[in-house]
Amino acid sequence: MHTNSLIHETSPYLLQHAHNPVNWCAWNDETLKKARKENKMLLISIGYAACHWCHVMEHECFEDEEVAKVMNENFICIKVDREERPDVDQVYMNAAYLISGNGGWPLNALAMPDGKPYYAGTYFPKEKWIQVLNYFSILFKTEKNKLEEQADNVARGINEIELVPKNNDEVLLSKNDLDEAFSGIIKKADKERGGMMSTIKFPMPSIWEFLLQYHFYTGNRQVLGIVNTTLQQMACGGIFDQIGGGFSRYSTDPKWHVPHFEKMLYDNGQLVSLYSLAFQVTANPLYRDVVYESIEFIKRELISREGLFYSSLDADSEGEEGKYYVWTYDEIHAILKNDAALFCDYFNITPEGNWEDGKNIPDCSGADNIAAKYDLTADAFNQKIKLLKQAILTERHKRTRPNTDDKILTAWNALMVIGLTDAYKAFGENEFFEMAKTNIDFYLLNNITADNSLFRNYKNGITTIPGFLDDYTFLISSLINFYQVCFEEKYLTQAKSLMEYVLENFFDKSNGMFFYTDKKYSNLIARKMEVTDNVIASSNSEMAKNLILLGLFFDNNSYKEIARQMIKNVLNDIKKTPSYYSNWAIALTLQINEPYEVAIAGPEWQQKLPAMQKKYLPNVFFAGGNYKSSLPVLEDKLVPGKTFIYVCHNKTCKLPLEDVQAVLSEVSTL
C-alpha cells in the first residue's frame, strides 16, 4: 500500500488521500520551498470531505498508478482541504473563474514554482486529466516563458478581484438605503415557494434575518409573508431531514424537495438562529420543532467528547448519494405495518417514488388535512407522527452511515454557539445554554494564545493552522451574544481583546476593510478580502456588526467609525445587489437605528432577563449582573437590594424601571 506525507495530517479529507500513489503534500512553507528548490510546477487539488465529485475524481485519477506517475514526475502535488484553508481555495478559485469562467469542487490548479497559477479547472476524467498534465509538462520544458507570462497575468487579475476602494464622500446613511435593499431582494424572491428565484436553492440565512429586521422596523407585512413562506417551505421540504432533523446544504430543485444530501455544521448553526428568531416573531410551533430537531441532530451526529462540533456529514454512503436517507414504499410498510398508510400520506411516500428509481425523500409539503383523514386530533396526530419518525430513525441507524468529517473549525463552531444562544433566548431551554457554554469555554481555555491569536482547526488536541478573519469575527460574535444571556464580563472582555488583535493584524488602513489572512502568516500570491455575503455571511460584514456592538458596550467611538467607513465602502453594493450584501444590510440597519442598551443591575436579573429575551428585539442589547462593572453602561447602576432596569439610548439613560412590561413598552418603538 502507498503512503504519502498526508498521513501526518488531521483533516479527514487529506487523510482520505494519504494512501494514494500520488506523492501528495500539504500546503505549507516547506512544500512551497521544495517546489522552488526543485524548480517543479505545483499541482494544487482542492476539495472537502463531503464533496461527491471530489471522491469520484480521486477514484478515477488519484488512485490510478498511471495518472500518479505523470503527476509525480512533473509536479509537486498539493492536496488542500478547502474548509481548513479557505485562503488557498479563494486564490485558486479566483484563478479558475479568470481562466475558464467557472469554478467548483474538486478544484484543480496548475501553477509555477512560485505559486502563480496558469491553468485551473474542476472535475477531469482520467484521459482528459492525463492529456492536460502532459500538455503543460511539455510546455514548461519547451516554452516556459509563455507559462510565466500567463501566470503573471492571472496573478495580476487575482489581486485586482474584489478590490474595495475607500469611499471618501460625505454619505448620509438613511432608511431610504434600507428600503432600496429590501426592494432589490423582494424583486428576486420566489413568492410562491420561498427563497430566491433559482433552479437550485440555498438557504441563505442572512437574507431572511435582514428581512425579519426590516419587518420589525417598518411593520411591512409583505416582508414577513415571504420570510414565512421560505421558512415553512424549507422546514417541510426534503432539504430538511424529516426523520432525523438538520438541514442539507441545498436543494437541487426549486421546490426544496431534492437535497444535495451533505449536511454542514455552518448551515445548521445559522438556521437554528434564524428559526429561533422567526419563532420569537411568529410563535409558529413548526419553527420550534425545527430548532429542537436540528439541535438533536447536532447532539447525535456532530458533537465531540469535549463538546465541540464536527464539520459535516458526507452526502454519500456505500458509494451512493442519499442512500442513507431515502426509502421505498415497501420498506416503510415493512417497518410501520398498519401505521404505514398514515406515514406515507403525510410524507408523500408513493409506490413509484417521489425521487428516482422508486425511492422516496420524506417531504411533508402539502400535507394538509391528514389528521382529519385519520380521525385524529391535532395533538394526537402530532404525537403519532413523532413516534413513527422515531421508528423509522431507529431502522435508519442500522444502515451504513455517511462518513463524518470530524475536524473542528473555529468559525463554524462559533456559528453553532450563536445558534444555541439564540435558541436559548427564544425557548429558555437550559441544555442549549450549557452546550453553548461548554463549547465557548473550551475555546477560551484552549484555542486563544497569550497574544490573543487563534487557531482555525482542532483535532485530538492538535492545532496547526493560524486563524483567518472568519474565525475571529464569528468567535467575537458568539462571545458578544453569549455575554448577553449570562452577564459574565469575561466573555465581552475577551471579545474586545480579540478585536484589538484583528485591528493590529488584519486591518487595511488604506481602505478601512479587513484582509482575510493574518499579516504574520500569509504565504500566498495575493492577500484577499472576503466581502460578499453568501451561504455564510462575509467576515467583513460580520466584523462591521461586531465593531458597532463593541463600540456601544465599551463606548468606543473609533470602533463605530471604522464600522461606518466599512459600510460606506459597500453602500452602493448593498443597494444594487442586496442578496449578496444582506449581512451588510443588517450592519447598515444597526448603523441607522442605533440600538437601545438595556442594563439590568441587581440580584433578580436572572428572573427579569429571560422574559425580555423571549421577545424579538433586534434593537436591544443587554448588559447587567449583580456586581460592580467596568462597562460604561453599567457604571453606578447597582443599588443594594434592588433590581433596576435602565433603558439607555444614544448615551442617555431614562429613569430606572422594575417592571419588565414597562421596559418592553419603552423599547418597542424608536
Radius of gyration of the chain (CA): 26
Question: Mean pLDDT of all residues in the chain?
Answer: 95
Range(s) within the chain of domains with CATH label 1.50.10.10: 175-317+405-592
Q: Is the pLDDT of residue 630 over 90?
A: no
Q: Is the pLDDT of residue 162 over 80?
A: no
Mean pLDDT of 589-599: 94
pLDDT band of 1, cuts 50, 70, 90? confident
For residue 414 the three cell numbers come to 462559533
For residue 456, give the nearest of 27, 111, 4, 42 by alpha carbon.
27
Give domain 5-160's CATH architecture: 3-Layer(aba) Sandwich (3.40)
Q: For residue range 86-141, what is the model confidence (pLDDT) as tens digits?
A: 999 999 999 999 998 889 999 999 999 999 999 999 999 999 999 999 999 999 99
- Eight-class DSSP state of 644: E
Host H or E run for residue 123: none
Q: Is the pLDDT of residue 73 over 90?
A: yes
For residue 214 the three cell numbers come to 426590516
CB 378 within 8 A of CB 362: no
Residues 6+ apart with CB under 8 A from 441: none
pLDDT value at residue 669: 57
Q: Is the pLDDT of residue 144 over 50?
A: yes
Task: Tell whether the torsion through CA atoms of 326, 342, 370 and 228 is positive or negative.
Answer: negative
Number of H helices, E strands in the chain: 26, 20
Percent of the chain whose pLDDT exceeds 90: 91
- pTM value? 0.95
Residue type, 650: N
Q: For residue range 503-537, what is the model confidence (pLDDT) as tens digits?
A: 999 999 999 999 999 999 888 999 999 999 999 99
pLDDT band of 51, cuts 50, 70, 90? confident
For residue 400, give the nearest of 325, 318, 328, 320 by alpha carbon.
318
pLDDT value at residue 323: 96
Range(s) within the chain of domains with CATH label 3.40.30.10: 5-160
Q: Is the pLDDT of residue 452 over 70?
A: yes
Report the Cα–Cα distance between both ends of the chain, in Å, rounded. 68
pLDDT value at residue 160: 85
For residue 581 the three cell numbers come to 450584501
Q: Is the pLDDT of residue 471 over 50?
A: yes
Rounded CA-CA distance 421/277 in Å is: 11
For residue 424 the three cell numbers come to 436559548
Q: Highest mean pLDDT range out of 354-368, 476-490, 511-525?
A: 476-490
pLDDT band of 670, cuts 50, 70, 90? very low
* Helix orientation angle between 265-282 and 221-236, rounded to the nearest 10 degrees: 130
Q: Which CATH class, in words, describes the domain spanning 596-667?
A: alpha beta
CB 72 within 8 A of CB 106: no
Q: What is the CATH number of domain 175-317+405-592?
A: 1.50.10.10
Rounded CA-CA distance 600/664 in Å is: 13
For residue 50 the three cell numbers come to 463531503
